[in-house]
Structure 1
Amino acid sequence: MAERKSARSTDRFRRKRDAILDASTAIMNERGVKGLTLADAAAAVGLSTTSVTYYFKRKDDLAAGCMLRGIAWLQATTDEALAAPNPPQRLARLLQLYFERVARAATGAEPPLPTLSDLRALKDAQRAEVFEAYMRLFRRVRTLFDSPDMAWLSRGRRTARTHMLLEQLFWSATWLPKYDPEDYDRVRDRMYDILVGGFAIEGATWAPIPVPLAELAAREGPDMSRETFLLAATRLINSRGYRGASVDKISAALNVTKGSFYHHNEAKDDLVVACFDRTFDVMRRVQRLAMAMDGTQWQRISSAAAALAEYQLSEYGPLLRVSALSALPGEIRTEQVAHSDRVSDRFASMISDGIAEGSIRPIDPVIAAQMLNATLNAGAELGFWVPGITQKAAPSVFARPLLMGIFTR
């Protein structure tokens, strides 16, 4: 009798805990870790804030719980996908399972998966726990490439491709809502086709035309001073998240006063917007330079991708990671997502022109452009995942696998 009572109590605890995590994941995906509160989580499930603290003492415990549950699902899904006999079939199974889950979430049949891009916004103890779990997941996904046929792939290049692949899954959350859930299977198949076959037609070579990176940097004078400030802020936000990149730390990095900070920006949100504006401006300038090149659209798109991959590791980089979007108020975030979409739309136009002229395979240009945008954005972290990688090596190690095929030598 006591055992049955204890089991019912345990089930009741688990159900309430899961309900809190479900509601909190939706809130966190919408507002970021910064916008998640225990009070909002409690209101979403009809509990008092005190009741929620019985399950999660602090907000960061709750946010970490959401992320850890999502990582556990991804780990189990990866394990199932890895049962397939070879890398292409493992990739196909991973995409199938992932898109089935996000389709169920889109229709309300299951809770959403948590956004992991805001991991750095957690406090130290929770961040360490979630990051350790993510590293276990990452190492497991990396074994997708384990095969005698791929023995030529070095550990660093395998790591870079794993980072690129996972970024495709996470980034898809920003553009999948444009499609009806009933179309997710088609989207999945097109993503698989692009990942395996790349953009290039048979016989194409990887020979991007160099873009002088100095042309992308601000010139002397006030613009250069602002560029220096925004670059320091971008590096801090990328490495420590919105919460960790305090005004004091940004000012200290440049050896200036807080007054200098507020001379450039009225508030921290304004600073994030300015960093995004700088990022999109650099990407648009690269696109314009590539579009003005002689040659085919394949040469232009590969040259733009190579330039931006190299820029991320140059003295002028990196660009701001899209994870910073979650810290912005809804209206501002929507505006910045629109800027990102315009960059993707231009890539889509270049890809469409390449398909028409026959220099690029017949692929879905809209999905391919989003995947390219995801890859280039993720390049900001390439130095972390592949220590010692050089600026010149970044295009072939990171951009080339998407454009030529993830399993291509």
Structure 2
Amino acid sequence: MPDASPTAPRQTKRFEQKREAILDAAAKRFNERGIRGTSLADVSSGVGLMTNSITYYYRRKEDLAAACFLAKIGWLDALIGEAEGAGPPEARLRTFLDLYCRGLAAMATGERPALIRFHDVRALPSPQAETVFAAYNGFFRRMRALCLEADAVPDLDRVARNTRTHLLVSVVQTMRVWIDRYEPNDYPRVGARVADLLLRGLAGPASPWPPARALAVPPQETAALETAPGDAFLRAATILINEQGYRGASVEKISAHLRVTKGSFYHHNDNKDDLVAHCFARTFDRIRRAQDAADAAGGTGWERITAATGTLVRHQLSESGPLLRWIAVGALPEGLRADVTRTMQRLWERVAFPIADGIADGSIRPCDPSMAAQVVNSAIDAASELDRWARDIDGAAAQANYVFPLFAGLYAPPPR
């Protein structure tokens, strides 16, 4: 996408340096506040420029956001280019993740400019959205060719290759959420362990597939429903927050999604923030009940983790789904963000318990339980977008094409 200034400025070295500084400051602001919550004035204050000076490079905020996304995709494409010569697909995947984590470490220490996260990409309007989505789709295809080329795993059809690529890309992107708990010098070590989890899965030598135990999740208690908004409002708000962030999911858009008036919205909801809080409470309740049901059912660690994961992935694709994604937390107001982040982190850490138990009972191979939990959580979180890459996929197909490679490894032959 060209810079949206009336006349293209001369591309001098100083111009490029200033443009890189603007993109760095903009990426940081967009990551903190989302596209809707950031202004050109916010960005200009980060680089010591007047707002009018920013418009010399990018006329509109949306042009600047699109340039940030395209810079991020360009960086990922460059990593793919470096990894292409590493040998077979498994080696290329390891090389890509090593390069990716070294890049994240350089950003964490300030050695290279920050890059925007993809969590707010659907908040872009037209025509910027079409440009960025086309570039992202190109990146997805290159990632699929890099690690899941047609002959990498025999008997995989296009849907299976797309779902496995979505699993890989989602785990990679979500690493930015949790990798900062480690020292930047250790980021390459984290990348190596995540690569091992993706390639080899979690299954122990005799772990059965499909899991023999079906999971019965009890319904939400009636008392918790008495003060909650109608499920239609909760689901509509959840979908829009996942797509466009907190600020992008306006009262007008939620009402339009349900084809009701704003008056009807305020008849059922006191305000938007209360509705968003109920959406997170609904998501947390669903995750917690699935985890509790898996523990109550008993069995090996393998049986519990696969049962809970399969149940939550099916929920994402059901009429009562989706769950709110982790990326929705980033642009929340300060008053909501702290408590939501704490609860989300606790529920994600809880996934490590059945993994550790499975390692102890032999049903899960030895691995890092904490990192394995993050990989599993990333897959559950990203399942809400699975149907974008595999049209009309249902729970059974997701179990075979998405949950199975998560636990058996990306290059495991498809289950019978």
**TM-score higher than 0.5:** yes
Answering whether residue 59 of structure 2 is matched by residue 53 of structure 1, we say: no
3-state DSSP of counterpart to 1:82: helix
Q: How far does residue 345 in structure 1 lie from its aligned partner after superposition?
A: 1.4
Residue 52 of structure 1 aligns to a residue whose secondary structure is: helix
Tell me the equivalent position of 1:3.
none
Deviation at 1:14, TM superposition (A): 1.2
Q: Which is helix-richer, 1 or 2?
A: 1
Which 10-residue stretch deviates more, 325-334 or 75-84? 325-334
Query: For the Cα contact (< 8 Å) 2:313–2:383, is it kept in 1?
Result: yes
What amino acid maps onto 2:295 in structure 1? M
For 2:11 and 2:137, how far apart are their aligned partners in 1? 34
Gaps of 5+ in 2: 1-8
Out of 158, 161, 164, the residue aligned to residue 161 of structure 2 is 158
- Decide whether aligned partners of structure 1 residues 130 and 269 sit closer, same or farther in structure 2, where only a CA change above 3 A counts: farther
Tell me how far apart the structure 2 counterparts of residues 217 and 56 of structure 1 sit (CA, whole Å): 49
Letter in 1 for 2:69: M
**Per-residue deviation, 1:222:** 4.2
Matches within 5 A, 1:232-381: 232-381=236-385
Q: Sequence identity, in percent?
A: 46
In the alignment, the residues of structure 2 paired with residue 335 and residue 150 of structure 1 have an alpha-carbon distance, to the nearest angstrom, of: 43
| The 10-residue stretch of structure 1 (77-86 or 112-121) with the greater mean CA deviation from structure 2 | 77-86
After superposition, what is the alpha-carbon deviation per residue over 1:165-211, rounded to whole angstroms, capped at 9, x for unaligned? 11112111111111111221221121111111111112322223223
Change (3 A) 1:219 1:87: farther
Give the aligned partner of residue 115 of structure 1: 117
| Structure 2 CA distance for partners of 1:161 and 1:330, relative to 1, 3 Å | farther
Residue 259 (structure 1) shift:
3.6
Residue 210 of structure 1 pairs with residue 214 of structure 2: yes
Cα offset for 1:358? 1.6
Are positions 1:400 and 2:400 aligned together? no
CA shift at 1:346, angstroms?
1.1
Matched residue, 1:22: 24
Residue 138 of structure 1 aligns with which residue? 140
Structure 1 window deviating more from structure 2 (247-256 vs 351-360): it is: 247-256
Shift of 1:126: 1.3
1:163 maps to a residue whose letter is H
Question: Which position in structure 1 is the counterpart of 2:107?
Answer: 105
Q: Distance in 1 between matches of 2:132 and 2:274?
A: 29
Contact 1:218–1:224 (8 Å) recurs in 2: no
Contact map agreement 2:120 2:243 (CA 8 A) in 1: no
* TM-score, normalised by the number of residues in structure 1: 0.92
8 Å Cα contact 2:246-2:331 kept in structure 1: yes
1:219 positional shift: 5.8
- Kept after mapping to 2: 8 A contact 1:322/1:377: yes
Offset at 1:34?
A: 2.1
Is 1:229 aligned to 2:233, yes or no?
yes
Rounded to whole Å, the distance in 2 between the matches of 1:37 and 1:225 is 32
Task: Kindly provide the amino acid, as one letter, of the partner of residue 128 in structure 1.
Answer: E
- TM-superposed CA distance for 1:309, in Å, is 0.8
Note the C-alpha offset of 1:253: 3.7
**1:313 CA displacement:** 0.9
Task: Quote the Cα distance in structure 2 between the aligned partners of 1:230 and 1:261.
Answer: 11
C-alpha separation in 2, matches of 1:336 and 1:291: 24
1:341-389 deviation line (CA, Å, top 9, x unaligned): 1111111112111111221111111111111111001000111110021
Deviation at 1:267, TM superposition (A): 3.4
In 2: Cα distance, 1:393 partner to 1:179 partner: 36
Match of residue 92 from structure 1: 94
- 1:388 partnered with 2:403: no
- Helix, strand or coil: the match of 1:150? coil
DSSP 3-state at the match of 2:86:
coil
Asked whether the equivalents of residues 36 and 248 of structure 2 are also in contact (C-alpha less than 8 Å), the reply is: no
Spell out, residue by residue over 1:104-127, the C-alpha distance to the aligned partner (whole angstroms, 9 max, x if none): 111111112210111011122111
* Residue 8 of structure 1, CA deviation: 8.5
SS of the residue corresponding to residue 327 of structure 1 reads: coil
Decide whether the 8 Å contact of 1:207 with 1:299 is kept in 2. Answer: no
For the 8 Å contact 2:120–2:244, the answer to whether it is kept is no
Cα distance between partner residues in 1 of 2:191 and 2:11: 41
Code of the residue aligned with 1:316 in structure 2: it is S
CA distance in 1, matches of 2:244, 2:141: 22
> Is the 8 Å Cα contact of residues 217 and 316 (structure 1) preserved in structure 2?
no
1:53-72 counterparts in 2 under 5 A? 53-72=55-74
The letter of the residue matching 1:397 is: N
Using the TM superposition, give the Cα deviation of residue 266 of structure 1 relative to its aligned residue in structure 2, in angstroms: 3.9
Q: Determine the C-alpha separation between the residues in 1 that align with 2:61 and 2:272.
A: 22
2:319 partner SS:
coil
**Residue 181, structure 1, aligned to residue 153, structure 2:** no
Residue type at the aligned position of 1:23: A
**Residue equivalent to 1:127:** 129
- Give the Cα separation in 1 of the matches to 2:143 and 2:203: 25
**Residues 118-143 of structure 1, C-alpha deviations (whole Å, 9 max, x = no match):** 10111221111111110000010011
The normalised TM-score by structure 2 is: 0.91
1:397, CA displacement in angstroms? 1.6
1:89, distance to aligned residue in structure 2 (A): 0.3
Q: Is the 8 A contact 1:121 1:242 kept in 2?
A: no
**C-alpha distance 384-79 of structure 1, shift in aligned 2 (>3 A):** same
Q: CA RMSD in A?
A: 2.2
Which range moved further: 317-326 or 110-119? 317-326
CA contact (8 A) 2:143 2:165 kept: yes
Q: CA deviation at 1:74?
A: 0.3
